[in-house]
Amino acid sequence: MMMGKVLPREAVAAAAAPVLSVRDLTISVGEGARARVLVEGLSFDLARGETLCIAGESGSGKSLTSLAIMGLLPQPGPVVAAGSIRLGEEDLTEASESRMRRVRGDRIAMIFQEPMTSLNPVLTVGRQLVEAIDAHRDVSAAEARRLALEALQSVRIPEAERRMGQYPHELSGGMRQRVMIAMALALEPDVLIADEPTTALDVTIQAQVLGLLKEIQATRGTALILITHDMGVVAEMADRVVVMRAGREVEAGAVVPLFAAPKEDYTRALLAAVPRMGDGSGRETAATPAPVAEIWDLRVRFPLKGGLFGRTVAEVHAVAGVSFDVPAGATLSLVGESGCGKSTTAKAIAGLVPYEGHLSVGGRSGQDLSTSERKALRRDVQMIFQDPFASLDPRWRAGDLVAEPLAVHGIGSAREREERVAALFERVGLQPDAMRRYPHQFSGGQRQRICIARALALRPKLIIADESVSALDVSVQKRVLELLKELQAEFGIAYLFISHDMAVVENISDRVAVMYLGQIVETGTARQVFGDPRHAYTRRLIEAVPVPDPARRRAGFPRLVGDIPSAVRRVGDPPARLVLTDVGEGHLVAQ
């Protein structure tokens, strides 16, 4: 673990003064009559060792504020039109770009939401860490490497020496985020800004990253600005909270009283939209309907080539003998961490990857089908993907995107298709004139509604929702989930709901299947799985969910101890069988 900075006597005497002070910050874009204010009159102080959470929905100005502090507002574009950003005694709004290059990384550092887009894919992890150190410290190459290795060790990356020589794509999402944290902390900055650092992470990895940030704060006294729309994370981490909406501060204060008695309607609505464990306990149907989809012993393997002639030398057992069924009008949720096989299972059902085993939808087997039969099967199975913007062709109007499946399957005349699309837009809460707009002209929640309308166009028997709400703000997420429930009740659609958000899963599911390493380790009704989890891995998933109540803040974060078994096997070898041993104190050992 790296040692904290030794503060001079003057710094100790001034410890009570804020390390960062933002006053009347206004950010605007454009000039004159066309000028538009994006952030208006924002003020806050940040003390040494304190965590300030800036919360709010997308477009509220959270990330713009962090970029202004870092001097990274995109140019040409938004500018700081008024106000001050003081780091100690220095006003950063008056600093030159050369001065800001010295401040960034040294005095203020930032962890971005998506590490894969922040790390250089053609440079090793060690090279990138060393470059960051060389930019701010006059040290030898050997000393820079030692500091880089020490930084990786401080964030508890296993086999840190070996990781130094690896590239970002060779690391898991959780490890990449740890590398970003190591890079940010390598020079021991006074202020650390974390912009949605756990939004894309599984709940267990999220818990580990949050726990790591807390430990680093405790040992170094780093001041932390945490930007998030996840109020559960706010409750776990914050000392104080600033709630923003449309570029303005709505409410601010200490975390416990703000959660206990919010003063503003917007804050109350934001907190009310947070899914909470125990609120839903799933849904219990009186009778089990006939299954729409039946999956028996489903296996998906991907070959790994090697050698001079590119022969298959090993296989990734992505899905290793999965069996379940999805009843008509019901929701089965697949939960588990990234890489467990959830999405690969979904792609096999949708006919997007080759598989072994038995799979049928609507009584029609998915194997040995002709082209026309496969086309008919796909009409019964539709998908809603995680990123609606990436799912929609930006060159097509929204109405044409929803009408496309109808045209592909030759359903109705052009006039009839237009009428059905208009009805679908109205059903998912979009105005008919939205049919003429392009995807970039909608908000994230509206784009997801377009994807839902497109999935409904063919009136499928099964809809696969693959992380369809994980990237949405909590209030938008709540509205989309309510819409999915309404549509299910109206049309009798079966859902295969894939998510790593356990609180959302509990509130929408009839049945739950927990996956790990390509296998289902536990299955049952939502009430059984969440009320009385039998498997150690399921219990740890549930324990890792952040509680959106600071009065119930946990003292520590559960960790998975030991190496996760690899899904790679030599050709002909059986898949690994997962054994998780509970060794107490919130730890699991994977064998």
Q: How confident is the model at residue 578 (pLDDT cuts 50, 70, 90)?
A: low
- Cα–chain center distance at 369: 37
Q: What pLDDT, in 10s, does the model give residues 88-120? A: 999 999 999 999 999 998 899 998 877 777 889
CA of 6: how far to CAs of 176, 178, 314, 352, 494, in Å?
29, 25, 52, 57, 61
Q: Which of 234, 189, 242 is nearest to 216 (CA)?
A: 189
Cα separation of 363 and 585, whole Å? 48
Q: How confident is the model at residue 2 (pLDDT cuts 50, 70, 90)?
A: very low
Q: Which of 416, 428, 485, 496 is nearest to 461 (CA)?
A: 496
- If you average pLDDT over residues 396-401, what whole number do you get? 95
Please report the beta strands in 196-290, taking only residues with DSSP state E, as ranges in sequence order. 223-228, 240-245, 248-254
Q: How confident is the model at residue 7 (pLDDT cuts 50, 70, 90)?
A: very low
- If you average pLDDT over residues 541-568, what whole number do you get? 71
pLDDT over 90 at 296, yes or no: yes
- Report the top-level CATH class of 372-380+387-460: alpha beta
Three-state DSSP at 7 gives: coil
Q: What pLDDT, in 10s, does the model give residues 407-459? A: 999 999 999 999 999 999 998 888 888 999 999 888 777 888 899 999 999 99
Residues 6+ apart with CB under 8 A from 518: 300, 317, 318, 319, 320, 321, 322, 340, 341, 344, 567, 575
pLDDT of residue 69: 95
Amino acid at 152: L
Q: How confident is the model at residue 229 (pLDDT cuts 50, 70, 90)?
A: confident
> Which two three-digit tokens encode residue 546?
């952040």
Out of 162-176, 451-465, 576-590, the most confident range is: 451-465
Amino acid at 185: L
pLDDT of residue 333: 95
Element (H, E) at 291: strand 291-306
pLDDT of residue 386: 76
Q: How confident is the model at residue 565 (pLDDT cuts 50, 70, 90)?
A: low
The DSSP result for 388-407, as a single string, is HHHHS-TTS-HHHHHHHHHH
Q: What pLDDT, in 10s, does the model give residues 475-520? A: 878 888 888 999 899 889 999 999 878 888 998 999 999 998 888 9
Q: What pLDDT, in 10s, does the model give residues 115-144? A: 777 889 999 999 999 998 998 888 999 999
CA–CA–CA angle 236, 240, 244 (5° rounding): 100
- Report the top-level CATH class of 280-362+461-591: alpha beta
Q: What pLDDT, in 10s, does the model give residues 511-544? A: 999 998 888 999 999 999 999 999 888 888 888 8
First to last CA, the chain: 27
Task: State the average pLDDT for the chain.
Answer: 84
Element (H, E) at 110: strand 108-111
Cα separation of 530 and 501, whole Å? 13
Cα separation of 339 and 565, whole Å? 12
pLDDT of residue 284: 58
pLDDT of residue 200: 65
Pairing state between β 90-91 and 79-87: antiparallel
- DSSP bridge pairs for 358: 296
Q: How confident is the model at residue 586 (pLDDT cuts 50, 70, 90)?
A: very low
> What share of the chain has pLDDT > 90, as a percent?
42
SS (H, E, C) 137-165: CCCCHHHHHHHHHHHHHHCCCCCHHHHCC
Into which CATH architecture does domain 16-272 fall?
A: 3-Layer(aba) Sandwich (3.40)
pLDDT over 80 at 243, yes or no: yes
At 557, give phi and psi (nearest 5°). -120, 135
Cα separation of 65 and 107, whole Å? 17
Element (H, E) at 356: strand 356-361
Residues 6+ apart with CB under 8 A from 590: 560, 561, 562, 563, 564, 565, 578, 579, 580
- If you average pLDDT over residues 32-38, what whole number do you get? 86
pLDDT of residue 547: 83
- If you average pLDDT over residues 221-238, what whole number do you get? 90
Number of helices and strands (H, E) in the chain? Answer: 22, 24
Domain ranges in the chain?
Answer: 16-272, 280-362+461-591, 372-380+387-460
Quick check: do 16-272 and 280-362+461-591 share a fold? yes
Sign, CA dihedral 442-445-446-450, equals positive
At 66, give phi and psi (nearest 5°). -65, -40
pLDDT of residue 113: 74
- Cα–chain center distance at 386: 10
pLDDT of residue 558: 54
Neighbours of 100 (CB within 10 A): 15
Q: Which of 126, 44, 141 is nearest to 84 (CA)?
A: 44
- Cα–chain center distance at 42: 27
Task: Note the maximum CA span of the chain.
Answer: 81
The answer to whether 447 touches 389, Cβ cutoff 8 Å, is: yes
> Which two three-digit tokens encode residue 53?
């959470």
Q: What pLDDT, in 10s, does the model give residues 307-359? A: 777 787 788 788 989 999 999 999 999 998 777 888 889 999 988 888 999 98
Amino acid at 103: V
pLDDT of residue 196: 84
- DSSP bridge pairs for 249: 244
